[in-house]
Amino acid sequence: MTIDSLNESTAVIETRLAHGVHRVATTLLAEAAVRPSVPLSALAQLRDFLVVNLRHHHETEDDDLWPRIVAAAPATAHELDALTEEHERLDAALDRLAATDLGHGEGATSEGIRAALHDAAVAVRDTVHDHLTHEEPILFPALRDHVSPAEWKDFAQRVISTTPPVAGHLMVGFLDEVGTPAEVELVLAGLPEPVRPLLPAMRAQAADDLKILRGTGS
């Protein structure tokens, strides 16, 4: 399948892949949390990646993308406001996940740590999956109809330039899982030029880390 055959704008493709990453990554953390073979350090890395990227994603939507859409189509304001309210509920779940002690507290057992992480991760996973089922039927048509290619390019560049550098290799690994090679290249084309030569090493590191998280590697 090619990008042309999807009949989707660049904005929709890139957003669909981002959402795919969020679905896969939140599911993986919930599953890996109770897998005894997965080191707590690997869980902490995925947890931190998720917290940072989910927050950044919805904050850029609320603060930048939504105003652009509303400026072009004022009638969308009510639906986008409702999505922002869901983002606020996600923030509460992310706060709980971020606060989960992964072994630095006194007297905590590995089983207790993993159980607490699992509960917090499940809450984030369920919140994210439910939210995306509400958001996509609203957002995808809005991106197609009300965001020009130039407007999206400007927004996407702002997102890339402000994304915190937390386990960025995992983003590359997850993108490879949820998109076609052509789609992934479309997303990664926006990376700063100095980063592009690092992609093979990032892919290799992501492959190793994801095997550990899934219990298929050491």
Contact 146, 69 (CB under 8 A): yes
**pLDDT tens across 160-197, in order?**
888 888 888 999 999 999 999 999 999 998 888 888 89
pTM: 0.89
Burial class of 68 by CB neighbour count within 10 A (0 to 12, 13 to 18, 19+): middle
CA separation for the pair 106, 193 (Å, rounded):
45
Q: Tokens representing 67?
A: 């105003």
Cα separation of the two ends of the chain: 34
**pLDDT tens across 117-166, in order?**
999 999 999 999 999 999 999 999 999 999 999 999 999 999 988 888 88
* Reported confidence tier of residue 6, pLDDT bands at 50, 70, 90: very low
State residue 7's pLDDT score: 55
